[in-house]
Amino acid sequence: MHKSKEYQHCQGCPLQGNTKVGTDGDPDGPICFVGRNPGAVEKMRGLPFVGPAGIRLDKVIADLKLEREDVFITNMVKCWTPNDAEPPNEAVERCWGYLTFELHRAKGIVVALGRSCQKALTEREVPHFSMIHPSAAIRRGLYEAVLRRDTRLLKKELAVWRRRKSRAKGGKRSAKS
């Protein structure tokens, strides 16, 4: 886990002064989940995805036969925005260097959670797998089926990633891959 003090030197952002939230999990893990920005619960606890959306994300992770500690979790913008508002573009730009550093450390599949994150990663030509945000499935029950579909597709993508990684290491196929 990387505490928010890592970002304390951030300056010149319209969100400066708001609580910054670090990362969680293993950057060497098979998946790197990237959300938009922390919510109110994350602000209080100092960790990404620990509120209602995080509880739903934990179920996705379990469906992938992984533990939360096995994956890397971060946000595009490191600060909480009041009323869960869309972060200003300037905040995205100011935080992009931090996210770029985190993505270079991450070894697994980058998963964009939600439209804002998907858009930003696509615009910057960062290869990623797009997934509906868990909070959308919570807010609108009909999106739960979309989240389950995305999870099944990510599971298949993860199997391909594991086979490629195994071949790159020159290893034998195992039951896990």
- The span from the CA of 72 to the CA of 132, in Å, is 18
The answer as to whether 120 is a domain residue is yes
Cα–Cα distance list, 62 to 6, 13, 20, 98, 164 (Å)? 29, 36, 27, 28, 22
- Rounded to an integer, the average pLDDT of 40-67 is 96
CATH number of the domain that 19 lies in?
A: 3.40.470.10
User: How much is the average pLDDT of 123-134?
Assistant: 97
The band of 71, judged by pLDDT with boundaries at 50, 70 and 90, is: very high
| CB contact at 8 A, 80 and 48 | no
- Confidence check: pLDDT of 172 > 90: no
Query: Residue 138: inside a domain, yes or no?
Result: yes
Report residue 173's pLDDT band, with 50, 70 and 90 as the boundaries: low
| Helix ranges restricted to H, 6-142 | 40-45, 52-63, 89-105, 115-123, 134-139
The reply to whether 176 falls in a domain is no
Look at the chain and report how many structural domains it folds into.
1
Question: Which domain does 133 fall in, by range?
Answer: 4-168
Q: What is the mean pLDDT of the chain?
A: 89
Which pTM value belongs to this model?
0.90
Indicate the length of the chain as a whole number: 177
Return the pLDDT at 45.
92
